[in-house]
């Protein structure tokens, strides 16, 4: 089967690999019907994910059909359409029982698929700990509707949850890429007083304005002044940093009011500086990733109920054999791309 593979820093390639087989009783084999490209895949390619293992098949955003299950798998059966969680987790360790599934202590726990073990930019994938990692897709929900559930939508849902958003809050979201927009959709479910999205790309600001006209928009250059003008307490009550650009971490804490919560959702290519002398007196609470992606069933129910729709984000579609072109467009942000579907 064809599999898009991490060869070395700076190099991915489409290669032939054998179809995966069951290894543990809790494994499932899933035939991938649709996948996507995530910014985290680009971080692997750039060498920014030290735990990524050369030789693995990349990709952790996928949906598919269960082909085979181990003897310990009870929540899905062959033939079920499923989402695949970006994280695999045991559900039994201290961290899992407290909802911190990103820190699962199982050897296959946390972000394994497409990072430490073979992922989903291929035809078939082995999913460890499948009882926790797979969720049945409701019959009324299409593959495209469910495609982003296991990663960027789970990330946005988690980010909104840990930000403790209240109805009187002004919420600033920095970044309107795929994860930023998924975060926006999940913040909107909490009905804060106002939402401000800061995005440097005029094209993406137009996308937000077209699809979510109730949202305030600004640019990084104007953000601090704009937030001061459109907030009640000298800054945003909640800041969600989803851009991961060179200056956006600093922008996040500078735009926060004293005693605000700053949720750092982004993954950075470079180390960030926490200038404590300059921050003294702001009394900020920082919350950082990675995502605890254990809300997929709830998210699928929200999609089924019509409360979340990520299909406008899927702007481009490519067959697996053209994945190099898909990466070129996605990686260089060409042709108005937001998300790419691979089938």
Residue 279: pLDDT above 90? no
- Alpha-carbon Rg for the chain, nearest whole angstrom, is 20
What's the pTM value of the predicted model, to 2 decimals? 0.92
The CA distance from 240 to 113, in Å, is 26
- Among 265, 261, 270, smallest CA distance to 288 is for 265
Q: Name the residue with higher pLDDT: 289 or 249.
A: 249
Using pLDDT thresholds of 50, 70 and 90, give the confidence band for residue 333. Answer: very high
Task: Report the pLDDT averaged over residues 64-77.
Answer: 97
Task: Report the pLDDT averaged over residues 23-34.
Answer: 97
Q: Which structural domains are found in the chain, ordered by start? A: 2-148+310-342 (3.90.180.10), 156-288 (3.40.50.720)
Using pLDDT thresholds of 50, 70 and 90, give the confidence band for residue 126. Answer: very high
Write the CA distances from 320 to 2, 36, 111, 199, 257, integer angstroms. 8, 10, 23, 31, 46
What is the reported pLDDT for 159? Answer: 95
3-state SS assignment for residue 297 = helix
Using pLDDT thresholds of 50, 70 and 90, give the confidence band for residue 222. Answer: very high
Question: For residue 312, what are its two tokens?
Answer: 């406008």
**Ranges of H-type helices in the chain:** 39-45, 94-97, 130-133, 143-146, 154-162, 178-188, 202-211, 223-229, 248-255, 276-279, 296-304, 323-331
Residue 230: pLDDT above 90? yes
What is the reported pLDDT for 132? Answer: 93
Are 14 and 4 in contact by the 8 Å Cβ rule? The answer is yes
Using pLDDT thresholds of 50, 70 and 90, give the confidence band for residue 250. Answer: very high
Residues 6+ away with beta carbon under 8 Å from 17? 1, 2, 3, 5, 57, 118, 122
What is the reported pLDDT for 108? Answer: 85
> pLDDT for 5-21, tens place per residue?
999 999 999 999 999 99
Task: Report the pLDDT averaged over residues 300-311.
Answer: 97
Are 236 and 173 in contact by the 8 Å Cβ rule? The answer is no
What is the reported pLDDT for 238? Answer: 98
If you search the block for the tokens 């440097």, which residue do you land on?
A: 200
Out of 43-47, 125-129, 144-148, 190-194, which region has the weakest mean confidence (pLDDT)? Answer: 43-47
What is the reported pLDDT for 251? Answer: 97
Residue 289: pLDDT above 80? no
Instruction: Enumerate the β-bridge partners of residue 32.
Output: 64
What sign does the dihedral 339-267-146-183 (CA atoms) show? negative
What is the reported pLDDT for 134? Answer: 96
Using pLDDT thresholds of 50, 70 and 90, give the confidence band for residue 32. Answer: very high
What is the reported pLDDT for 54? Answer: 96
Task: Provide the mean pLDDT of the chain.
Answer: 95
What is the reported pLDDT for 110? Answer: 87
> pLDDT for 162-211, tens place per residue?
999 999 999 999 999 999 999 999 999 999 999 999 999 999 999 999 99
Using pLDDT thresholds of 50, 70 and 90, give the confidence band for residue 243. Answer: very high
What is the reported pLDDT for 293? Answer: 79
Residue 38: pLDDT above 80? yes
Task: Report the pLDDT averaged over residues 298-306.
Answer: 97
Residue 151: pLDDT above 80? yes
The CA distance from 175 to 245, in Å, is 9
Q: Name the residue with higher pLDDT: 259 or 270.
A: 259
The CA distance from 205 to 199, in Å, is 6
What is the reported pLDDT for 292? Answer: 78
The DSSP code sequence of 304-322 is HTTS---GGGEEEEE-GGG
The CA distance from 224 to 230, in Å, is 10
Task: Report the pLDDT averaged over residues 23-35.
Answer: 97
């Amino acid at each position: 089967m064809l599999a898009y593979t991490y060869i070395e820093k700076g190099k991915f390639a489409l290669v032939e690999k054998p179809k995966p087989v069951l290894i543990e009783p809790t494994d499932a084999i899933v035939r991938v019907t649709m996948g996507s490209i995530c910014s985290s895949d680009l971080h692997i390619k750039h060498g920014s994910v030290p735990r990524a293992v050369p030789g693995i098949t990349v990709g952790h955003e996928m949906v598919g059909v269960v082909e085979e299950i181990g003897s310990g798998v009870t929540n899905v059966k062959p033939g079920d359409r499923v989402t695949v969680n970006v994280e695999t987790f045991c559900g039994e360790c201290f961290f899992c029982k407290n909802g911190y599934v990103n820190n699962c202590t199982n050897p296959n726990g946390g972000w394994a698929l497409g990072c430490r073990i073979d992922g989903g930019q291929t035809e078939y994938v082995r999913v460890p700990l499948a009882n926790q990692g797979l969720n049945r897709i409701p019959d009324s929900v299409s593959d495209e509707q469910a495609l982003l559930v296991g990663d960027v939508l789970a990330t946005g849902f988690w980010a909104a949850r840990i930000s403790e958003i209240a109805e009187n809050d002004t919420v600033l979201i920095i970044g309107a890429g795929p994860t930023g927009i998924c975060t926006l959709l999940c913040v909107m479910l909490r009905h804060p007083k106002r939402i401000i999205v800061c995005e440097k790309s005029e094209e993406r600001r137009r996308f937000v304005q077209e699809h979510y006209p109730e949202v305030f928009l600004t640019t990084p250059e104007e953000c601090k002044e704009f937030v001061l003008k459109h907030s009640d307490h000298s800054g945003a009550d909640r800041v969600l940093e989803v851009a991961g650009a060179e200056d956006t971490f600093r922008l996040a804490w500078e735009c926060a009011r004293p005693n605000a919560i700053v949720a750092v959702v982004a993954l950075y290519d470079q180390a960030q500086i926490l200038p404590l002398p300059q921050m003294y007196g702001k009394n900020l609470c920082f919350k950082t990733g990675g995502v605890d992606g254990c809300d997929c069933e709830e998210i699928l129910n929200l999609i089924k109920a019509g409360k979340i729709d990520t299909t406008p984000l899927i702007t481009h579609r490519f067959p697996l054999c053209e994945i190099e072109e898909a990466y070129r467009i996605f990686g260089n942000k060409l042709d108005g791309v937001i998300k790419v579907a691979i089938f």
